[in-house]
């Protein structure tokens, strides 16, 4: 019998699947289908192959992306899984983003990747899609794009790299990159030794082996029900990873039959589960920005308005930190995997989870947990703590508000190295930007003590496009040399998921915005951080704040009329060409995920 997908004689229904989906517009729909078949046949497919459901595989392989080096093998395994289950697998490329090869920052390119992903899923005839990614920004970009495209999506991450070894001590990117570089700078290790360490920090393909952003996002994908339990932690180079890839191919065919589209599958409960996971793993602060961007792509306006930064605190208050991984703890992702990974963690978190949330594998997350084979790892060999014996009692990530951050700010309290700073008042030492900081931070005459609050302005989404991971301001040399390990540091930027300290990030509105309070902080202003009450205050009167802001706004407006001189980024962006101009004019603040206004489900009306 004729399959409607390649029967040219029948009318083409508007939302048909298979080869008939997303026809190129030539005016004549039948001719469009005819032409499509001409070209797909040039690839050697038979009529039988073309009659199957088509599962797209998004290929983000790049020779500039070692975190994705195993993708060719993964694609082969996904194809096997699709085709053993009656589908036809067709892979296609999108851009690939690696942290170290993305100037100015990988975050700058995340939204571009999400657009590429969304549009290629929509443009091409695939009925469901397997998204293969892994490095920090790639999985959020793929989920943002996939959610907006709204075909059934299944995530497959490339998996963590193995740890390396130096003098018998385990090493791994990238917490140990920072520690060892600091030792080299301090003269504790020499050039030969740091070179030897350089060979060992990323010894295999795969994503950073600690609880950085890549691992955090992988765990969150499991929490959202978009990936099987082992999917978050099986090493990139393991046979387990290949079996998960094959399973994902099969799952894609099944998800298509059940029409499990992400706009329907992902509910409020799914996101609550994801945030519970984020708090319990002591995850990356970057993941909060990504989650807000993902939520903003959801068409359910009630869901969008009910999941915001305050949800991070509400869930944080009841969620203990259970996973002992660097940078908060001592271990690597391979230890997490060998301790039972996400299945073991979700079993501990069971009382906090919304067990009725759906999964793309079919069934609810509660059913998945109950049905999975679980073999308990002896306590002394596990890096996952029991629920009642946490590493940190609650709120590893805290959202702060106050007159200095009306739109919110974020702190990874569990990573503080000087707990008194969690309740602290001190005078501000202000740097106007990264260049100013580089120039003055180590000046022996800098007026700073260990109780000062270091303030770095203008590293937010518009002020320094791409919102660099520069929020972990180094301790001024004259204090570091006296043994000061931690200070309260605040900015509108981000920090790497592999870093730690008493650091407040993502302050909104950012300093580049002429209406922001962060932009008018001055040396000596007293700043108070009160984690217990989630407050971040500047101790000056409302009237003084208003006066400073009015003055600054007038100066910024005046800069339009100057013929020479550098304009502030807020004004300059109006005339910048290309992607950079688009980025600076469209990017939202951190609490809206630093997405582009025109990409959110509600569109550009959601302005800054």
Is 65 or 248 the residue whose CB approaches ligand FES more closely? 65
Is 207 or 385 the residue whose CB approaches ligand FES more closely? 207
Lookup: tokens for 202: 């990323």
Judged by CB under 6 A, does residue 208 bind ligand FES? yes
Judged by CB under 5 A, does residue 496 bind Mg ion? yes
Residue 222 near which of Mg ion, ligand FES, none (CB within 5-8 Å, type-dependent)? none
Lookup: tokens for 472: 């972990």
Residue 496 near which of Mg ion, ligand FES, none (CB within 5-8 Å, type-dependent)? Mg ion
Shortest approach of ligand FES to residue 101 CB, angstroms? 9
Instruction: Tell me which DSSP letter residue 329 carries.
Output: S
- Binding region for ligand FES (CB under 6 A) out of 208-216, 281-289, 316-324, 351-359: 208-216
Q: Which of 102, 142, 158, 213 binds Mg ion (CB under 5 A)?
A: 213
User: C-alpha dihedral over 286, 69, 359, 379, to 10 degrees?
Assistant: -80
Residue 248 near which of ligand FES, Mg ion, none (CB within 5-8 Å, type-dependent)? none
Spatial contact of 522 and 549, defined as CB atoms under 8 Å apart:
no
Count of residues engaged in binding ligand FES, rule: CB under 6 A: 11
Please tell me whether the peptide bond between 104 and the residue prior to it is cis, using omega within 30 degrees of 0: yes
Spatial contact of 51 and 19, defined as CB atoms under 8 Å apart:
no
473: which residues sit within 8 A by CB, 6+ positions away? 431, 437, 441, 454, 456, 489, 491, 503
Shortest approach of ligand FES to residue 343 CB, angstroms? 23
- Binding region for ligand FES (CB under 6 A) out of 14-22, 81-89, 205-213, 542-550: 205-213
DSSP class per residue in 101-147: G-SS-HHHHHHHHHHHHHHHHHHS--SEEEEEE-STTHHHHHHHHHH
Shortest approach of ligand FES to residue 417 CB, angstroms? 23
Count of residues engaged in binding Mg ion, rule: CB under 5 A: 4
Lookup: tokens for 480: 């570091």
Spatial contact of 563 and 555, defined as CB atoms under 8 Å apart:
no
Shortest approach of Mg ion to residue 223 CB, angstroms? 19
Spatial contact of 78 and 106, defined as CB atoms under 8 Å apart:
no
Q: What are residue 422's phi and psi, to 5 degrees?
A: -75, -15
- 238-267 binders of ligand FES (CB under 6 A): none
- 211-240 binders of ligand FES (CB under 6 A): 212, 214
Judged by CB under 6 A, does residue 135 bind ligand FES? yes
Give Cα separations from 191 to 180, 185, 195, 197, 574 (angstroms): 11, 10, 6, 10, 47
Is 216 or 502 the residue whose CB approaches ligand FES more closely? 216
- 97-156 binders of Mg ion (CB under 5 A): 136
Residue 180 near which of Mg ion, ligand FES, none (CB within 5-8 Å, type-dependent)? none
Residues forming beta bridges with residue 528, ordered by sequence position: 425, 537
Shortest approach of ligand FES to residue 208 CB, angstroms? 3
How buried is residue 389: exposed, middle or buried, by Cβ count under 10 Å (0-12/13-18/19+)? exposed
Is 156 or 462 the residue whose CB approaches ligand FES more closely? 156
Shortest approach of ligand FES to residue 99 CB, angstroms? 4
Residue 98 near which of ligand FES, Mg ion, none (CB within 5-8 Å, type-dependent)? ligand FES
d(CA 386, CA 394): 14
Judged by CB under 5 A, does residue 215 bind Mg ion? no
Is 213 or 276 the residue whose CB approaches Mg ion more closely? 213
d(CA 406, CA 408): 6
Spatial contact of 341 and 322, defined as CB atoms under 8 Å apart:
no
Q: Which of 134, 152, 163, 212 binds Mg ion (CB under 5 A)?
A: 212
d(CA 24, CA 269): 38
Tally helices (H) and strands (E) across the chain: 22, 14
Is 152 or 235 the residue whose CB approaches ligand FES more closely? 235
How open is the CA angle 431-436-441, to the nearest 5 degrees? 75
Judged by CB under 6 A, does residue 136 bind ligand FES? yes
Shortest approach of ligand FES to residue 166 CB, angstroms? 19
Shortest approach of ligand FES to residue 92 CB, angstroms? 22
> For residue 78, what is the enclosing H or E element?
helix 71-84
Shortest approach of ligand FES to residue 218 CB, angstroms? 10
- 517-576 binders of ligand FES (CB under 6 A): none
Residue 135 near which of Mg ion, ligand FES, none (CB within 5-8 Å, type-dependent)? ligand FES
Each residue 142-181 as x (binds ligand FES by CB under 6 A) or -, in order, gives -------------------------------xx-------
3-state secondary structure of 59: strand
Shortest approach of ligand FES to residue 159 CB, angstroms? 10
d(CA 122, CA 58): 12
Hey, how many other C-beta atoms are within 10 angstroms of the C-beta on 28? 11
d(CA 189, CA 402): 44
Shortest approach of ligand FES to residue 172 CB, angstroms? 10
Binding site for ligand FES (CB under 6 A): 67, 98-99, 135-136, 173-174, 207-208, 212, 214
Binding site for Mg ion (CB under 5 A): 136, 212-213, 496
């Amino acid at each position: 019998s004729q399959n409607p997908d390649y029967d040219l004689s029948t009318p083409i229904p508007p939302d048909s699947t298979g080869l008939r989906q997303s026809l190129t517009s030539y005016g004549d729909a039948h001719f469009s289908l005819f032409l499509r078949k001409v070209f797909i046949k040039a690839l050697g497919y038979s009529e039988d192959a073309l009659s199957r459901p088509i599962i797209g595989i998004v290929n983000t392989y790049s020779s500039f992306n070692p975190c994705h080096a195993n993708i060719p093998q993964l694609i082969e395994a996904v194809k096997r899984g699709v085709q053993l289950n009656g589908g036809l697998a067709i892979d296609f490329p999108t851009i690939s983003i690696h942290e170290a090869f993305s100037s100015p920052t990988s975050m700058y390119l995340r939204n571009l990747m999400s657009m590429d992903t969304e549009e290629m899923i929509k443009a091409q005839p695939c009925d469901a899609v397997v998204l293969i990614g892994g490095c920090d920004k790639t999985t959020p970009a793929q989920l943002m794009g996939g959610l907006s495209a709204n075909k059934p999506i299944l995530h497959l991450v490339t998996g963590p790299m193995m740890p390396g070894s130096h003098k018998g001590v385990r090493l791994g990117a990238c917490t140990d990159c920072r520690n060892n570089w600091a030792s080299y700078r301090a003269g504790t290790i020499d050039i030969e030794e740091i070179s030897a360490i350089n060979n060992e920090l990323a010894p295999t393909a795969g994503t950073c082996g600690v609880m950085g952003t890549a691992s955090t996002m992988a765990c969150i994908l499991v929490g959202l029900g978009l990936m099987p339990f082992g999917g978050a932690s099986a090493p990139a180079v393991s046979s387990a990873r290949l079996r998960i890839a094959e399973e994902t191919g099969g799952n894609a065919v099944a998800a298509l039959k059940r029409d499990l589209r992400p706009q329907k599958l992902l509910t409020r409960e799914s996101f609550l589960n994801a945030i519970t996971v984020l708090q319990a793993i002591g995850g990356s602060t970057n993941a909060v920005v990504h989650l807000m961007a993902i939520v903003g792509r959801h068409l359910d306006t009630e869901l969008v308005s009910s999941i915001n930064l305050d949800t991070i605190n509400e869930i944080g208050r009841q969620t203990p930190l259970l996973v002992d991984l660097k940078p908060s703890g001592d271990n690597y992702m391979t230890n997490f995997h060998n301790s039972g990974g996400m299945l073991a963690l979700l079993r501990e978190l069971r009382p906090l989870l919304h067990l009725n949330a759906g999964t793309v594998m079919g069934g609810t997350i509660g059913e998945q947990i109950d049905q999975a084979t679980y073999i308990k790892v002896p306590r002394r060999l596990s890096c996952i703590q029991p629920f009642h014996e946490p590493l940190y009692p609650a709120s590893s990530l805290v959202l702060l508000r106050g007159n200095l951050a009306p739109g919110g700010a974020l702190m990874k309290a569990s990573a503080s190295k000087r707990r008194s700073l969690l309740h602290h008042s001190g005078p501000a030492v202000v740097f106007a930007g990264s260049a100013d900081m580089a120039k003055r931070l180590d000046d022996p005459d800098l007026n700073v003590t260990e109780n000062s609050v270091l303030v770095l302005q203008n590293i937010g989404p518009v002020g320094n496009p791409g919102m660099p991971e520069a929020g972990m301001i180094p301790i001024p040399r004259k204090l570091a040399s006296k043994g000061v390990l931690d200070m309260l540091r605040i900015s509108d930027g981000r920090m790497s998921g592999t870093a730690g300290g008493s650091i407040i990030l993502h302050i909104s509105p950012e300093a580049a915005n002429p209406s922001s309070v962060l932009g008018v902080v001055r040396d000596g202003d007293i700043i108070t951080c009160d984690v217990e009450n989630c407050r971040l205050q500047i101790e000056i009167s409302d009237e003084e704040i208003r006066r400073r802001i009015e003055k600054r706004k007038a100066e910024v407006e005046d800069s339009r009329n100057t013929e020479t001189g550098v304009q502030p980024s807020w004004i300059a962006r109006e005339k910048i060409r290309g992607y950079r101009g688009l980025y600076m004019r469209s990017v939202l603040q951190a609490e809206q995920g630093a997405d582009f206004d025109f990409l959110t489900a509600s569109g550009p009306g959601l302005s800054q």
